[in-house]
Structure 1
Amino acid sequence: MGSVLKGVSGVRWGELSDAQQRPAVGIPPLLSRIAYGGEDAARLAVDELGDLICALGFVVGEATAATVPFLLELAGAPYVPCKAELLDLLESICRTGQWHSAAAAVRGPKSTSFQEQPGWEKAARAAVCAGRPVVEGIASSVRPEEAEAAQKLLWAMENLRPFPRL
């Protein structure tokens, strides 16, 4: 990775699962394409990354929380061409609640199959919210698509629904 994503190599991606329950080894190359590819390559990489860390726009995986700081870093970098798309992905992650809803709906012996996933959602949401200063900086961007996406994410952070009780 380059100077922007120097912390990526410190994450044990092979020990984490993505939103499709596969080893998360595909995440670092996508982050690199976002940071160092051209505009078209970066946009495609954001779309592919969304499938790995926030499938269908509402299902996070174990690796999602580990990926969020890098998304925030990229969104705050001056030369990344797809900041609005990154912010939209972060908003989707912030709004997730699928695992909490499923775990709350399933009571009894089957509820043990949802023990880890609600924790993934909490960790992912907390990681997004920790990046609030970066998002606030982008909200005043002279690029309207970036400013609007940042403002939408800030609104989502302000209006988060609490997770259902388990």
Structure 2
Amino acid sequence: MGSLLKGVARVRWSELRDAQGTPAGGIPPLLSRIAYGGEDTARLAIDELGDLVCALGFVLGEATAPAVPFLFELAGAPQVPCKAELLELLESICRADNWHSSAAAAGGPKRTGFQEQPTWEVAARAAVHAGRPVVEGIASSVRPEEAEAARKLLRAMDEVPPFPEV
């Protein structure tokens, strides 16, 4: 996949489920389109990727946390377009708590049906928090849309700490 995204092949995407509940094998080609396509191609790929890693802007999947470091790799690469859109997707991932809230609301014996999903949110949010140094670097960008998106993500990280263990 070129100099970017070298680690993508080490993830067993087809064994993971995306935010739509299907095998996550579609994630690597979208990451590649973001890395190596033009601005229009990248923008469309980010939109499609958002459906797979953060459906509806708040539902995460098992494959979300493994995808997050690659989103940061792309956001931090100088030649990759649409950094603001990548950062907005990361903010949505950071703020997502659909499964966690559902598990808490279910309580009692019904809660066991939600055991995996809140763990996915914990892992994804932790992965977003781990990328803070990249976001701090982008926050001083000379491109206002990138800097503002980075500052919004930093605020989200401050407001929404990683979940406690479920």
* TM-score bracket, shorter-length normalisation: over 0.9
Specify the alignment match of 1:9 in structure 2. 9
Unaligned runs of 5+ in 1: none
What's the offset of the Cα at 1:109?
Answer: 2.4
Could you tell me how far apart the structure 2 residues matched to 1:162 and 1:63 are?
Answer: 18
Cα deviations across residues 103-158 of structure 1 (Å, max 9, x unaligned)?
00102222111000000000000000000000000000000000000000001101
Specify the alignment match of 1:41 in structure 2. 41
Could you tell me how far apart the structure 2 residues matched to 1:8 and 1:82 are?
Answer: 20
Kindly provide the amino acid, as one letter, of the partner of residue 112 in structure 1: T
Kindly provide the amino acid, as one letter, of the partner of residue 67 in structure 2: T
Cα deviations across residues 19-71 of structure 1 (Å, max 9, x unaligned)?
01100000000000000011101000000000000000001000000000000
> Percent identity over the alignment?
78
Specify the alignment match of 2:32 in structure 1. 32
Kindly provide the amino acid, as one letter, of the partner of residue 52 in structure 2: L
Report SS of the residue matched to 1:7: helix
Kindly provide the amino acid, as one letter, of the partner of residue 78 in structure 1: P
* 1:20 and 1:61 in contact (8 A); partners too: yes
Specify the alignment match of 2:20 in structure 1. 20
Aligned CA-pair RMSD: 1.3
Report SS of the residue matched to 2:70: helix
Could you tell me how far apart the structure 1 residues matched to 2:16 and 2:164 are?
Answer: 25
Q: So what's the TM-score if we normalise by structure 2?
A: 0.97
Specify the alignment match of 2:119 in structure 1. 119
Judging changes above 3 Å, is the alpha-carbon distance between structure 1 residues 72 and 150 closer, same or farther for their aligned structure 2 residues? Answer: same
Specify the alignment match of 1:93 in structure 2. 93
| Higher deviation after alignment, 30-39 or 109-118 | 109-118
What's the offset of the Cα at 1:161?
Answer: 5.8
* 1:104 and 1:164 in contact (8 A); partners too: no
Q: So what's the TM-score if we normalise by structure 1?
A: 0.97
Report SS of the residue matched to 2:141: coil
Could you tell me how far apart the structure 2 residues matched to 1:107 and 1:28 are?
Answer: 36
Could you tell me how far apart the structure 2 residues matched to 1:164 and 1:98 are?
Answer: 15
Kindly provide the amino acid, as one letter, of the partner of residue 84 in structure 1: A
